[in-house]
Amino acid sequence: MKQNRRNFIKKTTMLGALGLSGHLGCAAKSAKKTSSGPVVLSTWWHGIPANKAAWEILGKGGKAIDAVEAGVRVVESNPEYQSVGLGGRPDRDGNVTLDASIMDEKGEAGSVCFLQHIENPISVARKVMEETPHVMLAGDGALQFALQNGFVKKNLLTEKSKKAWEEWKIKSKYKPIINIENHDTIGLIALDKNGDLSGACTTSGLAYKMYGRVGDSPIIGAGLFVDNEVGAATATGMGELMIKTVGSFLIVELMRQGATPIEACKEAIQRIVKKTNYEDMQVAYLALDKNGNKAGYALRGGFGYAVMENGENKMYNADSYLK
């Protein structure tokens, strides 16, 4: 009894410090299991095919780590998606440079950033995680590692993306676009039948960015974070804002302290509002807790995410801070 009371006081104090004390009732709800089987959720419309590929594994009782990799690979390899992998929009000088990260249920992490010429950076990130003592490889070092591990060098700039870039060059005078249309990273988080969580995040980054710019997606804690005891979170949008606020880590930590996924996402967006100059920019988060509770929330309207559970794959419009 005494122990419970002490825990209660500890929890209320912690939540109070986070400005969440008013939601303690809701926070307690997060402990309830809402999903009886595997769940996968991912950002934007390309989340539908990604979830489907992930479900091929999850639906058969496979591991979340295999599902998240398989899911995002589908989007990386499709040249029609101009924000990830093959066909991604280039930087302002015409180079397609890719960022990706992956985390498994053991808390292991791997990432690559500023990687060129490789269609599936997520699989390189997984190799970094599983076969090196490191977490992150960058640029030429990441490319060299990929080639040594059997990945094939490719031209990732499709005619369609090249044409769009050439048109952009005429009007934009090399100012990187920072509005809401050019953010379409795939972040995908999943819970498997065994109750294990994993996540993957992959992107060609901000369209027409400066050469060498790295976003949030390969930064563990910014674009992706997984703690198998608590939950997982991933992000899309203007990466600089998530890096400055370590958004995905923040969401998982808030859930650890009792916030529901939606409360945690709202607080992370609130942090961006309070601490950054977010004018004209979009940021959106997805969160999934250990019990299968999930949420999506964005800074402004227009963010959609796909959820697949019980074999059903559906799009949702996320609620947002700015209406």
Just list the catalytic residues: 185
DSSP-derived secondary structure letter, 209: P
Closest approach, Cβ 78 to ligand ASP, in A, equals 15
| Cα–Cα distance measured from residue 287 to residue 296, given in angstroms and rounded to the nearest whole number | 6
User: Quick check: 82 binds ligand ASP (CB under 6 A)?
Assistant: no
Ramachandran area for residue 196 (φ above 0: left; ψ -120 to 50: alpha; else beta): beta
Closest approach, Cβ 204 to ligand ASP, in A, equals 8
User: Quick check: 92 binds ligand ASP (CB under 6 A)?
Assistant: no
**Site map 245..284 versus ligand ASP, x via CB under 6 A:** ----------------------------------------
**Site map 104..133 versus ligand ASP, x via CB under 6 A:** ------------------------------
- Given the rule CB under 6 A, which of 53-61, 154-162, 198-206, 270-278 is the region that contacts ligand ASP? 198-206
* SS3 state of residue 157: coil
User: Quick check: 300 binds ligand ASP (CB under 6 A)?
Assistant: no
**Alpha-carbon distance values, 216 to 124, 166, 179 (Å):** 17, 26, 16
**Site map 27..66 versus ligand ASP, x via CB under 6 A:** ----------------------------------------
Tell which one of 117, 126, 183, 300 touches ligand ASP (CB under 6 A): 183
User: Quick check: 184 binds ligand ASP (CB under 6 A)?
Assistant: yes
Contact call for residues 236 and 271 (beta carbons, < 8 A)? no
**Alpha-carbon distance values, 193 to 36, 58, 64, 197 (Å):** 9, 7, 8, 10
Tell which one of 42, 97, 236, 260 touches ligand ASP (CB under 6 A): 236
- Given the rule CB under 6 A, which of 27-35, 148-156, 164-172, 236-244 is the region that contacts ligand ASP? 236-244
User: Between 71 and 237, whose beta carbon lies closer to ligand ASP?
Assistant: 237
| Cα–Cα distance measured from residue 133 to residue 146, given in angstroms and rounded to the nearest whole number | 15
> What b/e sequence results for 269-290 when a residue is b if at least 16 CB atoms lie within 10 Å of its CB, and e otherwise?
bebbeeebebeebbbbbbbbbb
How far does the chain reach from its first CA to its final CA, in angstroms?
Answer: 45
- Given the rule CB under 6 A, which of 66-74, 118-126, 211-219, 311-319 is the region that contacts ligand ASP? 211-219
Contact call for residues 307 and 314 (beta carbons, < 8 A)? yes
Q: Which amino acid is at 278?
A: Y
- Given the rule CB under 6 A, which of 89-97, 166-174, 203-211, 270-278 is the region that contacts ligand ASP? 203-211
Tell which one of 116, 120, 185, 320 touches ligand ASP (CB under 6 A): 185
User: Quick check: 215 binds ligand ASP (CB under 6 A)?
Assistant: yes
| Distance from the Cα of residue 207 to its chain's centroid | 17
Total site size for ligand ASP, rule CB under 6 A: 14
- For 36-75, where are the E strands, in sequence order? 39-43
> Dihedrals φ, ψ of 123, to 5°?
-75, -30
User: Between 15 and 286, whose beta carbon lies closer to ligand ASP?
Assistant: 286
User: Quick check: 237 binds ligand ASP (CB under 6 A)?
Assistant: yes
- For 9-74, where are the E strands, in sequence order? 39-43
Q: Which residues bind ligand ASP (CB under 6 A)?
A: 83, 183-185, 203, 205-206, 215-217, 236-239
